[in-house]
Structure 1
Amino acid sequence: MKEAPPTPDDEFLRKRSVVIAGHATSISLEDIFWHLLKDLAEQREQSLASLITEIDSQRRVNLSSALRVFVLKSVLADKQGEREDRL
């Protein structure tokens, strides 16, 4: 995964509208999570909306939390893979 360079705005919440199952949904996430979600969607050759819809269909908590957890797990898995590649 590409590392998003830190910016002064990373901690600020940004609200975006995404269509999930035909309904516009507003999601608030910090900028860093939006950047990383976009990178993950590109890696998976998906649109951002498609990735969010996939996460939404499997979530057990609120959508913003599910997205943050998905990003964190993806970053940790990527880091674990990098460590294993070095061994």
Structure 2
Amino acid sequence: MIRKRSITLHGHRTSFSVEDAFLDELRTIASERGLSFAALIADIDEARPLDSNLSSALRLFVLRDLKERHQRP
């Protein structure tokens, strides 16, 4: 199920919509990296291309992370 979430990034409220599975994975990644959930989202937001939306950037980040983990020996 897709859920809309609100978060404050750089002092501004914004929202994103992702499926629960992506949200769970983002929380796991944040924990494994020793980051707060908000810090991870802020990092992803800062790195995303200007022509992409935050929701897409979050999904693509999770996909890249999972692919990298799969490729590790």
Q: TM-score, normalised by structure 2?
A: 0.93
1:33 lines up with 2:58 in the alignment: no
Unmatched segments (≥5 aa) in structure 1? 1-11
Task: Look up the SS of the partner of 1:64 in the other structure.
Answer: helix
Corresponding residue for residue 50 of structure 1: 39
- State how far apart, in whole Å, the 1-side matches of 2:31 and 2:39 are: 11
Correspondence 1:76 to 2:67: yes
TM-score normalized by the length of structure 1: 0.79
Give the total of aligned pairs.
71
| Identical columns (%) | 46
Instruction: Spell out, residue by residue over 1:29-69, the C-alpha distance to the aligned partner (whole angstroms, 9 max, x if none).
Output: 00000000000000010011100000101101111111100
Farther-moved stretch of structure 1 (23-32 vs 34-43): 23-32
User: RMSD of the alignment, in Å?
Assistant: 0.7
SS at match of 1:71: helix
Structure 1 residue runs of 4 or more that deviate by more than 4 Å after TM superposition? none
Q: Per-residue deviation at 1:26?
A: 1.1
- Work out whether 1:63 is the aligned partner of 2:66: no
| Structure 2: distance between partners of 1:46 and 1:65 | 21
